[in-house]
Structure 1
Amino acid sequence: MSAIERLLSNYSRQVKLPWPTNMAGKQRVWFAVYPPVEERRVRARQPQFEALTLEAGHNWINVDLTPLLPEWIAAHEYREAIFAQPEFFSTDSDLEALAAERVRAALSRDDADPSSVVAISGLASLFDFMRVSSLIERVEDFIPGRLLIFFPGEYAGNVYRFMDARDGFNYMAVPITSTESFLSP
């Protein structure tokens, strides 16, 4: 069984578990953790994650953040200067705020209820421009059901490392990994 098939299998078991309703927002976050080199393969298999979610009786809402950076740069007042001297480019958390706004909009849709999975993909396209931990902190109080983060990186000892490059962050999310017998409550 491939790592992605194990990730799908572990996700299937996780999404079928009972969902306590008395949890804090940060405990409603799930990280589907996989090696960054598998990003395209995982994205190609997202319809299977959706199917498993629907099969378990939950709603599925996907938020793809891939186009966020190009849209932000295209609308930026100083876009020509950014392209002329990219070494001076800084998002100054504007991009992070925009990402949080998009995720909060999905979390507050009419069909986003306590039985919904809101899945965030495309974080790899924002690497080096924002921190995943900051994004989650901005949206955790708005999660009605579960927030599934497709996380290209690694998880070890309660520490997540985005794209295997940054210093890790300790977070209370439920990790879903491709480890053969992995299952977390």
Structure 2
Amino acid sequence: MLKRTYDIKNGELKQAIEKSGLELREFATMSLEKMNVKSKKKRIRQKALKRAFTQNEVAKEILLMVQGGQKESKQEEQAVQSVVKTESHVSVRGLPVTFLLKLGKKYLKDEDVVRFYYNAEKEEFYKNKKLLEQVIENSSTNLDSNELSAYQSDVKAELEKRAKK
């Protein structure tokens, strides 16, 4: 019988899990418990695991719990800090285009992708969601501190709203 494998695309998170001494299966069960998934349906559990791997907050909490029980070393602290550093900017991957365009018009009015997303004459921008996500993530780091905090709170609120559904 084949063993379940969980693909982690976030390399820093994968390294942090390995350094903490956790097996991937243990991490998966802890993340399901942390996210309060009580369903036994395979599809629902897989979706919750995927969400846990993409949301660094859940991973950070689990890693901190494990490290709190173990003796902390400098390498483990650096691994957790690297995960924390990547969390400083909020990912907009997977959010709907309408929300991305609202974000873009609110904070990044001058970006061509935001302006010409539905303009068929501009082929490189026309309904190019990947480019829209990239530009919003990259340009959001250039916002001033007030706008950046407002931007991050908007994105986090939308992510929480989507997670509840």
TM bucket (normalised to shorter chain) is: under 0.3
- Between Structure 1 and Structure 2, which shows a larger proportion of helix residues? 2
Length-normalised TM-score, structure 2: 0.24
- Between Structure 1 and Structure 2, which shows a larger proportion of strand residues? 1
